[in-house]
Amino acid sequence: MSERRRVAIVGLGVVSCAGTGLEAFWHGLNSAAPEGERRVHDFDPLPYYDNPKEARRADRSQQMATATAAMALEDAGELKSDPARCGVIYATGVGGLQTFEEQVLVHDRKGERRVSPFMVPMIMPNAPGAAISMRFGLQGPNETITTACAASTHAIGYATRLIQMGYADVVVSGGTESVMSPVGMAGFQNMTALSSSGQSMPFDKDRDGFMMTEGSATLVLEEMDSARARGANIYGEVLGSGSTADAHHITAPAPGGDGALRCMQLAIEDSGLATNDIASVNAHGTSTPLNDAAEAEALSKLFGGDGPPVTSTKGVTGHALGAAGAIEATAVLLSFLHKKIPPTAGFVNPDPEMADFNLVTDGPLAWEPGPSMSNSFGFGGHNGSIVLAPPE
């Protein structure tokens, strides 16, 4: 087998309650967590569409994906690759739930003839990736990953493999989610997944569930030699990824974090690194009792109590489900740029029953960037980890 190709990250775009655009997002990650619900209040889709009618025919999740893809591709500069070798591997956990809920009400109140003919293409989970492909003329592989909260981490891992193995030269990858509709919120609330205190407190002893959010992040991945040849700004490199299944329970993690542990080990192995090469971890860290405990145990088993610094940016952002992995990969890449690791907002009281690991709290941590892992673990027992490295 020929040597696999290297993969650079050359463009980024983000819409998040922590901030829209890279500068605002980074500032938000290093600030106090927002008060109350974690909606994106300042997002305007219209600048990213040719006209308001076109925007109205897209679910909010697709609007956010289109926006971050436009940001990321502009950031990447002029791509030299054949459009037939430029793909889109995108992710969402749920799809167009807000549109579906709205159209159910239309059907109930006004009758079947008033249901929008655009409903089906608006609710399809693959709609964001398809819209990006069509808008920017990307004719290579166009596929959608829907593995719950691990989806966009899996998407980035798969996109990387397409480039490594020579099936594509450029892949636009990331994730989007917007399910903060009344029924969506009620469903998560009634399964006791959401915080009853209205706070995101990853790894804190008083954590009581996650804060739902919405948002999107898009990364432009390019074969390394091509990126260098055209003088692209390189944020970092995707070294490898891991994917496992707990095969345990539809929502609860495997006891002891064994699935998460195997996933992290596979990602490190795929990257050609040793465990002690990992310089930081962006944890899944949702603020739910079982998931945080399982991830902490997995981190402790892998690294010991004196391992690399670990943070959960969900203390600020809340949990964006299928978009979370892409948002957090973006946070890691900005950590490389700024040489700081954002703190775990919301963490106040250590949990005496939690396994020992090195959590970043009480403000940003200055560091010398090195290979870093980002974790995403989803309902269904889906586990995803990617390893990113700073630019040379």
Q: In this predicted structure, what is the pLDDT of residue 2?
A: 65
Residue type, 243: S
| pTM strictly above 0.95 | yes
Residue type, 206: D
Class of the 7-389 domain?
alpha beta
Domain boundaries, the chain: 7-389
The CA distance from 173 to 350, in Å, is: 36
Q: Is 117 helix (H, G, I), strand (E, B) or coil?
A: coil
Both tokens of residue 329? Answer: 């990969």
pLDDT in tens, 341-363: 999 999 999 999 999 999 999 99
Q: Bridge partners of 291?
A: none
Pick from 319, 7, 342, 1: nearest CA to 157: 7
What would the mean pLDDT of 30-35 be, rounded to a whole number? 92
Active-site residue, 107 included: no
Q: In this predicted structure, what is the pLDDT of residue 3?
A: 86
Vertex 177, ends 331 and 297: CA angle to 5°? Answer: 55
The CA distance from 121 to 130, in Å, is: 10
Q: In this predicted structure, what is the pLDDT of residue 158?
A: 98
Percent pLDDT > 90 in the chain is 97
Both tokens of residue 1? Answer: 């087998």
* Residue 152 near residue 89 (C-beta atoms within 8 A): no
> Which DSSP string do the residues of 55-90 spell out, in sequence order?
HHTS-HHHHHHHHHHHHHHHHH----S-GGGEEEEE
The CA distance from 134 to 111, in Å, is: 33
pLDDT in tens, 160-169: 999 999 999 9
**Catalytic residue from among 149, 154, 263, 382:** 149
**Catalytic residue from among 17, 154, 263, 284:** 284
User: How many angstroms separate the first and last alpha carbons of the chain?
Assistant: 26
Active-site residue, 319 included: yes
Place of tokens 């989970």: 125
Could you tell me which residues come within 8 angstroms of residue 288 by beta carbon, excluding any fewer than 6 positions away? 193, 207, 209, 210
pLDDT in tens, 296-329: 999 999 998 889 999 999 999 999 999 999 999 9
pLDDT in tens, 171-195: 999 999 999 999 999 999 999 999 9
Pick from 172, 54, 181, 68: nearest CA to 122: 54
Q: Is 167 helix (H, G, I), strand (E, B) or coil?
A: coil
The CA distance from 313 to 328, in Å, is: 7
Q: Bridge partners of 222?
A: 8, 170
pLDDT at 71 over 50: yes
**For the packed helices 127-136 and 60-76, what is the interaxial angle rounded to 10 degrees?**
40
Active-site residue, 154 included: no
pLDDT in tens, 222-280: 999 999 999 999 999 999 999 999 999 999 999 899 999 999 999 999 999 999 999 99
